[in-house]
Structure 1
Amino acid sequence: MPRFNPLVETLAAPPIPSVFAWGKAYDGRSGPMIDLSQAVPGYPPHPEMLRLLGEYAASRAYTGYGPIEGEDVLRAAYAGHLSQTYGVPLDAGNVHVTSGCNQAFICAAMAIAGTGDAVLMTDPYYFNQETTLAMLGIKTRFAACDPANGFLPDVETLAAAITPDVRALALVSPNNPTGAVYPTELLSAIYDLCVARGIWLILDETYRDFLPEGTGRPHDLFGRAGWQDTLIGLYSFSKSFCIPGHRLGAITAGSGVVEQVAKIMDNLQICPPRSAQAAVATALPLLADWREENRREIARRVEALRATMAHTPAWRIGAVGAYFAFIGHPFGDAPSARVAEKLAKEAGILCLPGSYFGAGQEGYLRFAFANADVETISRLKDRLGGFTLD
Structure 2
Amino acid sequence: MTMADPRLALVAGETSGDLLASLLLGALRERWPALSAQGIGGPKMIAQGFESWWLQDKLAVFGYVDALRHYREIAGIRRELGDRLLHERPDAFIGVDAPDFNLGLEARLKAAGLRSIHFVSPSIWAWRGGRIDKIRSAVDHVLCLFPFEPEIYQRAGIAATYVGHPLADAIPLEVPRAAARAKLGLAEADEVVALLPGSRRGEVTHIAPRLLAAAVELRRTRPHTRFLLPVAPGVRALLEPMLALHAPDLSVQLLDGQSHDALAACDLTLIASGTATLEAALFKRPMVIVYHLHWLSHLIMRRMAYLPWVGLPNILAREFIVPELIQDAATPVAIASAARAWLDDANRCARVAERFSELHHLLRQGTARRATDAIAQVLGR
Q: Same fold (TM over 0.5)?
A: no
More contact order relative to length (CA 8 Å, sep ≥ 6): 1
TM-score class, shorter-chain normalisation, is: 0.3 to 0.5
The structure in which a higher percent of residues are helix is 2
TM-score by length of 2: 0.35
